[in-house]
Amino acid sequence: MARSAGRHRRPRRGLSLPAAAGAAAVTVALAGSLSMATAGASGPAPGSSLALDTPARPATTGQAADAGVFDGLESAAQSLVDVTTTASSSTHSSIRAEEVKKKKQRERRLAAQRAAREAAERERLARLYTKPLSSYRVSAQYGVRGWAWSRGYHTGLDLTAAYGTPVKAVHSGKVTVAGWDGAYGYKVEITHSDGTQTWYAHMSRLAVSGGSVSTGQTIGHVGSTGNSYGNHLHLEVHAPGGGELNPYTWLQDKGVTL
């Protein structure tokens, strides 16, 4: 029996056409996958077939996006600086205004305390010092110049009052002179504890002759004796050293306003 032709032929080496086609397809798929992975990591390789299917994003687009991001960050940072500066300035202004307010309140409080102390001192002095007359009119101030006064100026303070009005000691002290004294007429001189002297002149009559007197005590009565041109009290104040003082301001310093 004859053998079939080619039954025992040596088999061909290599891939069949279908197998080759499948292998090629796998190769292309693997190459595409590799190209896509490479493109995702660092962009498509030069000459890669992937460039035909998936165009690479231009580099300028990424740079523009980065620039936009940095511009946004810079703008946000500047806005934060502006807000912080404004807030700091506002806070500083508020603190400054509060300090000014507290300073004014402290000054007003100190001024009120000072006024209260001065008022208390005037009240205390008012109990120690008093007006020499209860009813009067200031007719000649200290220092006024004119021919009517022997020294060419007025050495005291004249208080015009009705004849016989009681004259009071403005402050306590010791009577060092009580009697007639030439141009002064009837006069009383009181020396106070600090050495200051008060003189009361032109009185019609005296109520003391010596000793100590207290504030407000009657020492005589208004008249017009000596070098006088009408009923009035001539009041002089002399410092411990002998110099003349303005009776008006001296009494004012003691809390007594004539």
Active site residues: 232
- The length of the chain is 258
The torsion angles phi and psi of 215, rounded to 5 degrees, stand at -60, 130
Instruction: With beta carbons less than 8 A apart as the criterion, state whether 188 and 177 touch.
Output: yes
CA-closest candidate to residue 159, choices 140, 142, 143: 140
What 8-state DSSP symbol labels residue 36? H
Which residues touch 176 (CB under 8 Å, ≥6 apart)?
189, 190, 191, 197
The H-assigned helical ranges of 43-58 are: 50-53
Q: Residue 28 — φ and ψ, nearest 5°?
A: -65, -40
What distance in Å separates the CA atoms of residue 20 and residue 14, rounded to the nearest whole number? 9
Q: Are strands 212-213 and 173-180 parallel, antiparallel or unpaired?
A: antiparallel
For residue 160, what are the β-bridge partners? 137, 232
